[in-house]
Every structure is written in C-alpha cells, then in structure tokens.
Amino acid sequence: MAIKRLAIWVDAAYSNDALFDPLSPLNRDNCLSAYRLLRDKLQAGGWECRTHDVYKAGGITPDAVLFTDMPKARPDALLGDWSGRVRKLALLLECAVIKPGNWLPGSHDGFDAVFTWDEKYIDDRKYFKINFPNPFPDGITANPLNRSGFCVMITANKKSRHSLELYSEREKTVRWFERSHPGEFDLYGMGWDRRIFTGPKPVRALNRFSALARLTAPKYMSYRGVITEKRPVIEKYRFSICYENARDVPGYITEKIFDCFFAGNIPVYWGAPDIEKYIPRDCFIDRRDFASHEQLYAYMKGRSDSDLLKYIEAARAYLASPAAFQFSDKYFADTIVKTLIGKI
C-alpha cells in the first residue's frame, strides 16, 4: 500500500521540518508539540507528514496540504503544479481582529476542510472544531503563596487600530501599575524597548529602522526584558495580567490563560465574552467585573491565602476534566488525523 503524505504549508522560519524540531528556538514552552503529535499519529496511520518545502524540493506531490492561516496569495497559485491534485485544508486559529484574511467572504471556497475554534461555522462536514493547542503538563505548580512577585505580564508589545483590540488595554494596565504600585508588577516580552510607528504607510516604514525604534522608545520602568520560557517566570508571581489580543470574540481563547494555570498562577482574564462556557469562573479573575484598576487591585490584594488556593485547586480540577481536553495538543492532533484518515 502506497504511503500517503500531508504537507504543512509554513513560513521560512519553520521550513525544512523545523516545525517538528523540539530543540528549535521556535518551540518556546513546547508550543509546537501539537505538530509533532500530529506527525506521529499520522505515521501510525500510514501517513507521512513534513513541511511543504521538503516535498517541493524532492519533486513529491503530497495527498493533502494544510495551510496554517489563510495565505496572502491565492492557495492554488502557491500550490503550483500541486493545484487540483491535493486536498486543501486550512487551520484558522486567529480571529478577524488579528488575521482579517482568515475570514474574508469566499476565502474558504475550494478548501476541503477548515479547522477553527469559531463554533458558528462548525458543521463536522467541512468545518471542524479546533482550539489553540496546549501541551498539558503532568502536573501544575501548586503553591501560589510563597512567591516573591505579586503580578506579572508576559506579552509582546503590539499595536492595532481595530475597535476590539486589547493591546492598548495591556499598556494602560502597565502604566497604571507603574504609577500606583511600581514594586508589585513586572513586565516581560518583546518590543517594549522599541517604539512602534503607526499611521500612514510611510510612517510605518520607520519600523524597519531598529536603531531609530530603540532610540525613540518610550520607557517602561517595569520592563524586565525578553525571556526564553514563560512558566519558570510566571511561577514567581501570584497573579498574571492575562488579556487576549482581542475582546468580545466568542470562543477565541488562546494559550495565555493556560500558561497561568500550568504555573499555578491566578490569571486576570479579559477576552472571550463567553469564557465561562469553556473554563469555570472559579479558575480566574474576570477583568470585566471591575470598573477600574483601583478596584481590581483592591480585590487582588484582599484575597486571603485560602482564597488563592481555591483558584489553584479549581484550575487543577478543570485541567484534569474532560472539558479541558479540547484545548490540548492531543485533541488538536486527533481531530486532524480523524478528518484525514477517518480514525485515530
């Protein structure tokens, strides 16, 4: 029986099978585990799975191609001589606020299967449910009490003009802590030491000049730099500011809240309006419950040790429950494999 093949269409950074390399610097916090699981499960079912460039270089036509997010060019134009000869699959993990091209009218036409978290599309014929996948650890860091840090935020500094973006709310929270309680908040992530030029295209072009961006960057006194792993850092703090990239997008739940759970940290969450449909309310603090940063801070400071432990125990129980499985790397791999070959 001839072997079948799935090609995953990737950017240059993930080419030559770097997508599957556990030692790659791109695999921070084991974020690529879902693709290794997918490859291994396909192999068990008689399939091969590699990045698309490997097959292109070898002159091999795969049986199916999985695009991660909608490509900017027409899929058939990218496929070239593969067009019309392969099954086309799309993995759409980003919402329209971040990747508007994922959801343009007609953009899904011609695809045999689309995997997404957006339940209004799910029909289990063409559209299949998949969330941001997380590599669930064997256990979580349990004790939030004996930690030197009070609150942390780990995120890249980004800008957006969309009405539902939460990048600006992150910055407001950073600035509030720096003004009001500078000793109780630390900031980590890329881009906080450089200015992001926004506006007309000629102004945005200035972002290409790294020296200028750094020279004109605003100063963040809470900024502690870039990190290589999130969990060891989050474990040092009781709370995390955990805002999604966008708010009020039903079902759009990324890895951010799970990073906190795994580290035994209590997330202050803002993002999906229906978060409680997927994650119990007693696992996190809902930022929407507070009219101001002052009210939020007072609530956080007022939690007793037993209150904090209740959050951690609730998160542990949730992660061990069937309800959490849909956010795991195993669910991700199982869903794609089942769609491709009809079994797991």
Give me the DSSP letters along 18-75: GGG-TTSTT-GGGTTHHHHHHHHHHHHTTEEEEEHHHHHHHT---SEEEEES--SS-H
Structural tokens at position 160: 């957006």
User: For the chain, what are the domain ranges?
Assistant: 4-135+328-341, 149-325
| pLDDT 10s digits, 248-290 | 999 999 999 999 999 999 999 999 999 999 999 999 999 999 9
CA 264 to chain centre: 19
Residue 207's pLDDT band (boundaries 50, 70, 90)? low
> Residue 8: enclosing H or E segment and its boundaries?
strand 4-9
Quote the pLDDT of residue 138.
Answer: 86
> What is the rounded distance in angstroms from the CA atom of residue 231 to the CA atom of residue 261?
10
Is the domain spanning 4-135+328-341 CATH 1.10.8? The answer is no
- Mean pLDDT computed over every residue of the chain: 93
CATH code: domain 149-325 is 3.40.50.11660
Mark out the alpha helices in the chain (DSSP H runs): 33-44, 52-58, 75-79, 167-180, 201-204, 210-215, 231-234, 256-262, 275-278, 293-301, 305-319, 329-341
Name 205's Cβ contacts closer than 8 Å, sequence gap at least 6.
Answer: 197
pLDDT of residue 205: 64
Does the pLDDT at position 206 exceed 60?
no
